[in-house]
Amino acid sequence: MITDECINCDVCEPECPNDAIYMGVEIYEIDPHKCTECVGHFDEPQCVQVCPVACIPTHPQHVETRETLWQKFERLTAAKQAAQGGGAAGSVPPAAASAS
């Protein structure tokens, strides 16, 4: 969730490894179906780390456990590999392997 305190500085969007952040009508928005809070990629959400105005709180309607976020990461990774024409079945990016 990105609040209306967003100043559209453009630093969060490129930091998202899942392409979950996009420009909305007035401010950036986060697609909760793509957001894993960087589970599988980083220890902490990168958008939160780089935001200069601290306008990215956890969305109260989309609170998810680390296990649920990990499952979402695996689903998104499998879909991305399938869209790119494959990759080794069951392969996981190095950062994800160390997180398990």
Could you tell me the domains of the chain?
13-99 (3.30.70.20)
Minimal CA–CA distance to 79: which of 49, 47, 36, 48?
36
Q: For residue 88, what are the contacts with CB-CB under 8 A and spacing of at least 6?
A: none
Backbone angles phi, psi at 2, to 5 degrees: -115, 125
Instruction: Report the run of H or E that residue 66 belongs to, with start and end.
Output: helix 66-83
pLDDT class of 96 with cuts at 50, 70, 90: very low
CA pseudo-torsion sign 11, 14, 19, 23: positive
Give the pair of three-digit tokens for residue 42. Answer: 């980083």
- CB count within 10 Å of CB 56 equals 21
Whether residue 91 is predicted with pLDDT greater than 80 in this model: the reply is: no
pLDDT class of 87 with cuts at 50, 70, 90: low
**From the centroid of its chain, how far is CA 34?**
6
User: What percentage of the chain carries pLDDT values higher than 90?
Assistant: 81
Q: What is the pTM of this model?
A: 0.80
Rounded average pLDDT over 24-50: 97
Rounded average pLDDT over 40-66: 96
With vertex at residue 45, the alpha carbon angle to CA 22 and CA 80, rounded to the nearest 5 degrees, is 60
pLDDT class of 60 with cuts at 50, 70, 90: very high
